[in-house]
Structure 1
C-alpha cells in the first residue's frame, strides 16, 4: 500500500476513536457528509512540543482548493498539502500551551458547506503530559556520550543532532564519511521488497527531559524525510526498544534501549528509544510511557504516519512494554518481550525475600544444604537468590541514585530533606506520600509469609529450619535498614498499585494487545529471569479473559544462534499478526475479537530445541510435554510459601495460626517462636490481597 493509501485507511478508520470528530461515519456507498479530521501524530489531548501532524479528509461537495484551516483564528492552510486527491496533511505548529481550537471549513461555508472543529491540547516538549509533577533530574545531554549542546533547567537541548552510519559488507556498523558512499557499503532488501543502500540516519535530541534516538534507512543527499513523500527503504513501521534493569538514578542517562538494530533496520523498520525507557535509569513506567508517546509523536511528525508500532526489549524492557500497553494503550500495537516479567512491583518482593534469606544463611548456626536452600527459594538453583538480591536496592533510599549525583544532595539521617532514591519516592505521584513526605511503598511486605511451607510439607527442610528461618528472616524499614521485624507496605499504596495498573492485571489495553514473549532458558544456571515468569503472565491472562488467545510464549535453549533465530521469528510473526489486524480494523481501535481473529493460524506456543527445530505445544505449568521436559518450570519464594502462581498478591490477607494445620509436630518452644514471628497471623492465600482492586481505567493522569 502506498503512503496515500495508508493515510486514507488511518483517517477513515481511526477518526471516531481518537479525535471525537463531529461527523458520523458515512455509509460505505455514500460520500462523507462533512470533513473528518485526525491527529496522525498521536491523541489530540496529548499534543507536545507545539506541533501536530493533522490529516483532513475533504467531502466531495467541497473543492479541495476551497478548504481553509485555522487554529484559534490564525490561518494555517498553507501548512497543508495533498497526499491523495481528497486528503490534506499538515504539520500545524506554533500551538500555545493548553487548548487550541483547530477549525476546518470551506470558503463557501455560508452556503451550507460543512465545518469541523477539533481541540488540540498542547503540552511542553519538556513534559509532563500525564505523569504529574516532575522529580529532580541531573543532566547528561551536554556531556558524554551525547554531547548534544547546552541544556536548560529541564535538561532540554534546542534542536536535534543528525548523524549517519552504514552497514559494511563485512557485517558491522561504521560512521559514514563525507563525500559519498564508501565502496564497502552493504545493500539491504526491506520487507517491501525494496533494495537500498544500507545507510542509517540517526537523530538525537531531548524530549520529556530524556535523550532520545531515532534511526531509519536514508541516504544523505536524498530529499529529507517528511510526512508527504515516501522515504526510500522505510517500510512505515516502527520498533520501539526498551532497556532492562531497575534503578532510581534521577539522572538523564547514558544509554537508550538501542536503535542500531540490524535485525530491524535491515528490513526497513524505523527504530526509536530514549534514556527514560531504560528501567535501570528510570524505574517508572508512567514516565516511560509518556516519553515513548512523545518520541513516537516526533518521529511521525518527522517521517510521516506509522502503520504499526512494535515494542522490543528484555527483562524490564518487557515489563515496560506490558505496563505501557495495559495502562496507555495505543502507544504500542504489539509486545515482543524477552526474558521478561509482568511488572516490577510483583517481582521486587522476591529480591527482598532473597536478601532476607542470604542474610539469614550467613548468620544462622543451623546447617542448610544446597537442596534445602533451593527448596525454600523455589528457583532452579539456590544461587539464583544472589541475582534477585539486586532488586533489594530499589527500595533503599541511599543506594539507588546515579554515582555522579553529589553526596550532599542525597538523603541520609543527617540530611532528611535530601533526594531519596527508592521506587516509591520516584513514583510518589502514583502512590502518594506518608506523614514524613516519603513515597508510600508497596514493597517490601512479608507480614504473614511462611517461607518454606511447601518444603516443610515435602520433608526437604525440618521443622526447626522452618521455624528458625521464619523467626529470623526479618525485613527492611523505610530507610533501607534491615530489621528484625517483618516489612509492611502502605495499604493506600497497595490500592493505588492495583487501581492504576502498576500491578499488571492484563485488563486494560492488554485486552486487545498481542503479546509474544520469548525466553532463552537459564533456570539451571541460577539466572533470575526464570521460565516461571512466562507462566505468571499466562495465569494473569487466563484469570482476566478465560483464554490466552492474545498471548504466545516461546522458550529456547541458552544458545545464541537458536536465540537469534527465535527473536527473528518473533519479529516476523508479530508483524504478520498486526498487519492482518490492521486490515481488519482499518486503523481504528481493535477489539479483542479482532486481535484474536488476526492471529496467524500457525502462531502457537512452543519451544525451540537444541537443533533449532520448533515444537508447537501449549504451555502448561506441569512436568508433561516435550517443552516442559526440555525446559522445566520452577517457582519463587512466595509460591513455596503457598502463594498464587499468578504472583499478583503484594500483601496477603491474614488468618490465625493453627497448630493443627501443619504436616509436622512442633515442640512447644518452636510453636512459641512461630507465634512470636507471626503475631498477627499468617497468609490466607485463598483471599484477595490487601488493596487488590480492579484497574480504574486507562490513560490515567497523575497531574493532580
Structure 2
C-alpha cells in the first residue's frame, strides 16, 4: 500500500512537472511566433476576391513591353496617400493584412463601412486605441508623412516626426525620411540632410546625387502589407548614408511579404518616381539587398532594363520558381530516406542522402526540429528515428516549401479571422494567379512536375549507389497530391494545431503515396501552361543581363545555410547559355567571418559605374571574379577561379577553397543552370540508344526501367518544354 501511494505521488509530481514544462514551452513558442499580438485581425474579404478560370500568362515577356504612362500626379502630397491600384500588375489582392501599426506608422485610413478588411478604432486624447470601431480598411493606406532620424556615434537612432529634432546637431548623422503607401505597400525615402531642411524645401546639400534601391529578402506568400522596419534599414544602410547616398525602400520589394515580381516591378518604378518627383533624378540607381532582395535584382535587371544601373546581389538565387524544383523534392526525399527505403541504414547517413539531394550536408548537425520530432514519437510510443548528420533539405528547407505549396498553411494565421482563413488559398502560386492562372474554384495550379525525373541517376552512373537503390527510390518517391485535397500541416502552434502529440515534419496525407510504400507511387504531372506562364512573365531568370551585377556572398554551405553557393553558378550558366559569354556578372565569395565583403563589392560597383558607366570593360578593372579569406585578404581572382565540374574545366582556386554542391535535379541530369521546369521525356529505348546512361551498360535493367518509368524519362540535353526559347 505504501509503495502504491509513493508511486501515485511520483506519478502526480511528474504529471505536474510535465504540465508546467508544456505550459512554459507553449507560452514561449506563442511568443516567438507572435501569436500573442494585439493587432486588429483581417475580419473579411470581398466576395469576388477569388477569380475563377483565369488563363495562365500568355503575353509578351516584360522586356518586350512598353509599360503604360502613369497617370498618378507624383509627388504624393504630405497628408495624402499614394495610389492603391497597381499600374500594370493586375487587380488588388484580397485578403490584405494591414501592418502600419507594426511599423510604428499608425492605423490605416478608413475606406469602407461594410466590415471589409481590418477594423479601424477611435483613438483617445493620448493616441491610444479605444474599442470603438469607426470604420474598416481593406487597402491599408497611410498618409504621407515626414520623419527625421538622427544618430550618435554609438549608432543609436532617434526619431522625430514632422519637425527637426531639437537634440540633433551637425556632428550627428541626420536623415530625412518620408513614409507612406504606394500600391498599398509601405514605402520610405531616406536622404541625408542638415538642420536647414524644411518640409517643402528639402536641403539636399549632403546628398551625393546617387540613389540606392534597397531590396529586402526572406520568404512570403503575399496577402500582407509587410512591416517596414525603418530603424533596421538605417542601421543596415548606414555606410551608404554616410557616403551621401539616398535610399528608397518599399515593403512591396521585400520578399518576406510576397514573390510577385510583376508587382515588385510596378511598385519599384512608382517608388522611384516618387523620389524623382520630390528630390530630382539621380545620377544612377544601384540595387542592394540580400536573398530575395538579391533575386529581385536579377529579375528586374532582366525584366525592366533601366530601373537600376547596377546591383550588389547578396546571397542571391536566380529566381524563386526554379528554386522550388528541388525544394519540393526535399520532403519527398527525406520521407523516403526515413520511412520507405528498403535500406534505411544506408540512408541514415547525411553524406549518403547528399548522393540523391545534391545539397550540402554536415555529419554532426541534426535535422530541424529533430528533438521535438523524436520526443513526440516517444510520447506516441514510437521508436525515434535514427539519422547521422543533417542535409540542407532537412536543416534549412523543412517547413519552407510547405509554406509555398500548401493552400491550408499560413504562418500568419493569427492575423486573420477563421472565416478568412477558410476562404483563401495560402500559396505562392495563388499570390501569382495572374501568372499561373486559376481553376473553376479560383485556385492557382502548380507549375511543378517530377514526371520522368530519375532521382540519383548520376550517383548510379558513378557507382555511388546500386541499381537496387536507384530503382527503389524512383518507384517509391511519389509526388504531391492535387491542391484541392491538401490537408493542414502538423507543425503544432506554427500551423495552428492544438496538440503537440500530432507534430510531424511531414504531412503524409499530402504525398501521392500518403505515406505508404507502393509498387509504383504516382508522380506529379504539374501544369505546363502555368510553367510557360512563369517563363513568359519574367518569373524565371533566363540569363538576360545588361548591367553590372556583383553576386556576393559569404560561404555558408558548411553550415547548411539555405543560401547555397551554387546558386551563383546557376545564374552564371544561364547568362552563358543566353549570351554565349559573361560580360556583366561577377562572383565574389568570402569566408564566413568576413561580412564586409558586401561593402567591398559596393565600392567596386561604384568604381565600375563611375569609370565607364558600367561598360563590360570595367568588370576586369574593378570587379573580376574573386574569393577572399576571413580577413578580407585576396585568395585568388581572375576568369578561371570558379571553374569546376559545372563547366567541365579544371577546378579553379576559389572553387577548391569553397566547394560547390548542387540540386536533386542536377543529380538527376539537369545542367548547372538548374532551370528546367518541364523536361522533355523520351522512351527508355531511346534513352538507351542515345547514350543517356553511359558509361553504364543498362541492357540488363531495361525491363526494370520500363516498369519504373512507363511514361519515359527526362532528357535534360533537350530544351525545357516550358521555355519560349
Q: Which residue of 2 aligns with 1:409?
A: 420
Alpha-carbon distance in 1 for matches of 2:306, 2:558:
37
Alpha-carbon distance in 2 for matches of 1:310, 1:470:
46
Alpha-carbon distance in 2 for matches of 1:505, 1:371:
32
Q: TM-score, normalised by structure 2?
A: 0.71
- Residue 220 and residue 139 in structure 1: after superposition, are their counterparts in 2 closer, same or farther (change >3 A)? farther
- Residue 327 and residue 396 in structure 1: after superposition, are their counterparts in 2 closer, same or farther (change >3 A)? same
**Secondary structure, counterpart of 1:601 in structure 2:** helix
Alpha-carbon distance in 1 for matches of 2:699, 2:306:
59
**Secondary structure, counterpart of 1:535 in structure 2:** helix
Verify the 8 A CA contact 1:499 1:693 in the aligned structure 2: yes
**Secondary structure, counterpart of 2:425 in structure 1:** coil
Matches within 5 A, 1:380-391: 380-381=360-361, 383-386=391-394, 387-389=396-398, 390-391=400-401
Q: Does 1:171 align with 2:140?
A: no
- Range with greater deviation from structure 2 (300-309 or 347-356): 300-309
Q: Which residue of 2 aligns with 1:342?
A: 318
Deviation at 1:210, TM superposition (A): 0.3
Q: How many residues align?
A: 548
Q: Deviations over 1:18-49 (max 9, x none)?
A: xxxxxxxxxxxxxxxxxxxxxxxxx9943253
Alpha-carbon distance in 1 for matches of 2:333, 2:720:
23
**Secondary structure, counterpart of 2:327 in structure 1:** helix
Matches within 5 A, 1:24-173: 45-47=68-70, 49-51=72-74, 125-151=83-109, 152=111, 153=137, 155-157=139-141, 159-173=143-157
Q: Which residue of 2 aligns with 1:202?
A: 177
Verify the 8 A CA contact 1:470 1:674 in the aligned structure 2: no
Verify the 8 A CA contact 1:519 1:554 in the aligned structure 2: yes
Deviation at 1:158, TM superposition (A): 5.0
**Secondary structure, counterpart of 1:287 in structure 2:** helix
* Aligned counterpart in structure 2 of residue 372 of structure 1, from 338, 352, 365: 352
Q: TM-score, normalised by structure 1?
A: 0.73
**Secondary structure, counterpart of 1:216 in structure 2:** strand
Verify the 8 A CA contact 2:680 2:718 in the aligned structure 1: yes
Q: Which residue of 2 aligns with 1:587?
A: none
Q: Deviations over 1:498-522 (max 9, x none)?
A: 2221111123xx2x22111101101
**Secondary structure, counterpart of 1:394 in structure 2:** helix
Verify the 8 A CA contact 1:251 1:402 in the aligned structure 2: no
Alpha-carbon distance in 1 for matches of 2:438, 2:446:
9
Q: Which residue of 1 aligns with 2:561?
A: 527
Q: Which residue of 2 aligns with 1:259?
A: 233
Deviation at 1:687, TM superposition (A): 1.0
Deviation at 1:385, TM superposition (A): 0.7
* Aligned counterpart in structure 2 of residue 238 of structure 1, from 211, 215, 223: 211
Deviation at 1:142, TM superposition (A): 4.2
* Aligned counterpart in structure 1 of residue 451 of structure 2, from 443, 447, 452: 447
Alpha-carbon distance in 1 for matches of 2:563, 2:315:
6
Q: Does 1:482 align with 2:487?
A: no
Deviation at 1:646, TM superposition (A): 0.7
- Residue 268 and residue 655 in structure 1: after superposition, are their counterparts in 2 closer, same or farther (change >3 A)? same
Alpha-carbon distance in 2 for matches of 1:44, 1:398:
35
Alpha-carbon distance in 2 for matches of 1:154, 1:376:
46
Verify the 8 A CA contact 1:217 1:233 in the aligned structure 2: yes
Verify the 8 A CA contact 2:148 2:164 in the aligned structure 1: no
- Residue 539 and residue 256 in structure 1: after superposition, are their counterparts in 2 closer, same or farther (change >3 A)? farther
RCO comparison, higher one (Cα < 8 Å, 6+): 2
Name structure 2 gaps, 5 residues minimum: 1-65, 112-136, 362-389, 487-509, 514-521
Verify the 8 A CA contact 1:256 1:275 in the aligned structure 2: no
Q: Which residue of 2 aligns with 1:85?
A: none
Deviation at 1:601, TM superposition (A): 1.7
Identify, as 1 or 2, the structure richer in strand.
1
Alpha-carbon distance in 2 for matches of 1:436, 1:224:
50
* Aligned counterpart in structure 2 of residue 456 of structure 1, from 460, 466, 482: 460
Q: Does 1:500 align with 2:520?
A: no
* Aligned counterpart in structure 2 of residue 616 of structure 1, from 633, 637, 659: 637
Matches within 5 A, 1:650-665: 650-658=677-685, 661=693
- Residue 163 and residue 602 in structure 1: after superposition, are their counterparts in 2 closer, same or farther (change >3 A)? closer
Q: Deviations over 1:412-464 (max 9, x none)?
A: xxxxxx21112222111122223443223222x11111111111122222222
Alpha-carbon distance in 2 for matches of 1:242, 1:48:
25
- Residue 663 and residue 542 in structure 1: after superposition, are their counterparts in 2 closer, same or farther (change >3 A)? closer
Matches within 5 A, 1:2-13: none
Alpha-carbon distance in 1 for matches of 2:523, 2:245:
50
Matches within 5 A, 1:201-600: 201-224=176-199, 231-255=204-228, 259-260=233-234, 261-364=237-340, 365-366=342-343, 367=345, 368=347, 369-381=349-361, 383-386=391-394, 387-389=396-398, 390-400=400-410, 402-403=412-413, 404-411=415-422, 418-443=423-448, 445-479=449-483, 480=486, 481-484=510-513, 485-507=522-544, 510=545, 512-559=546-593, 562-564=594-596, 566-582=597-613, 595-599=615-619
Identify, as 1 or 2, the structure richer in helix.
2
- Residue 294 and residue 159 in structure 1: after superposition, are their counterparts in 2 closer, same or farther (change >3 A)? same
Q: Which residue of 1 aligns with 2:720?
A: 689
Deviation at 1:653, TM superposition (A): 0.6
